[in-house]
Structure 1
Amino acid sequence: MTALIIEDEIPAGKRLEKLLNQKGFTVLTILVSVKKAFKWLQENNHPEFVFIDIKLRDGNSFQLLEKFQITSKIIVTTAYDDFALKAFEHNAIDYLLKPIDEKKLDKMIGKLNKFQGNQEFKLDNFTEIKYKNSFLIPIGNLLKKIENHDITTFFSEDNASFLTTNQGRILPVNYSLEKLEQEVDPNIFFRISRKYLINRNYIRKVYTKNQISISIENHEEELKVSRLRMKNFLEWYKK
């Protein structure tokens, strides 16, 4: 697996290179500017993946993407979350916020493996994650086991997390939404916003006027997909 890193923050570039090497990638080089990236891509065969920051020393990497046809799969790595839609317009396959979380990098690699279903994209050093199938929820003096297939959503409110069941119950859960996103099967659950993680099996309708909204079983209000997550949601939902 070959990769190119376009990143002007040297420590961030070196850290990403180390993570990628650990996961079976061969990082060809790290480039720190639009000018150097343009020259390198003109003179070399393109790698399978390009990890590219948005703001570089001599400009914006969208200048590069607009002027040059990159045949690699593009993963945007940036400290800013307001370039997501533009990144996806340039066919980025993922958008990782810096500092890059290794678990989110693993998750991206896992998605590639699932989407491609092809041995070419299997990474020997990627360890399959085992996802939780149920949660033990305290109810009075009892612990009740709630199976994933009975959970319609997880959501956060007032610095606490809750789950909703297919019977309309709302129960506290002792995990942050960030932790839950890592613990549950991404084929079944998707984080649509900072507040909600939803179960695909309880989606009743998806509305796409102006912004994506979702009707969930036993939920009175429609849930909105954040603009940052819209393209990933549509890719996930159509599987």
Structure 2
Amino acid sequence: MTDVLIVESDPGMAEDLRQMIETSAGDYRIIYIAISVNDAKSWLTTHRSPQLIVCDIQLSDGLGFDIFQDVNVAAPVIFCTSYDEYALKAFENNGIDYLIKPVSQEKLERSLKKFNQLKELFGEENGSFPRKIGNGASYLTGYKTSLLVYYQDKIIPVNLDQVDFIHYNNYQVNVYTQNAHYETRDTLNNIIATLNPRDFFRANRQFIIHRKSVTTIQQYFGRKLLVGTTYPAPEPVIISKANASDFLKWLEGLGVEENSYSFQ
């Protein structure tokens, strides 16, 4: 049984998707229909990740991509939209297919077939299937050793050993080193899935930090932690109360289960 989350503001379209998915050639179960960005965020932060998400892009309170910027989602996504200009961004946010409305049974069946082919190719062991879909090539050789960034109209590789932290702000992601910072066009969700969890930790919605960059840890309000870094961060690096224990274990080298962070 494959658990599916639908994110769709239009009740009629949501019901059509539900019927098409449940009557398709496969064993699918709709576990929830979210009607907005905030509804989807709230559900995903309080429930186990579904195995597949079918998501509209233009929702009543924002873009569907906002869900994946703020919540660490471990599931592939089939995007459904009336617009074609978001295709590239869709595949930067766990997307495996991009359907233009109106969505027919035939189109949806092809997307579900693609989902099953990818599932068979990569497997679902240890919950790693969604990571592998978005970053298939890197899993043939292991975790990434560099990130591609933009500098003076050029694309250059930055060795991950040089990275102190990666910061998201206002739809822009920057990679910081001791000597400079660079723009990348990827999302924090996609990036963290390709990094070695022994070296990098998703501190919160804004930061991924490298172990070597941590210089100090201070108690903060509400049993949170304030992290000092070798290179001054553009805003305070705060570890939530929920993630503080995992963060300290990670620093001690005890390891943290991948994609186990909770952002409240």
Q: Give the alignment's TM-score, normalised by structure 1.
A: 0.48
Q: Give the alignment's TM-score, normalised by structure 2.
A: 0.44
**Structure with the greater alpha carbon radius of gyration:** 1
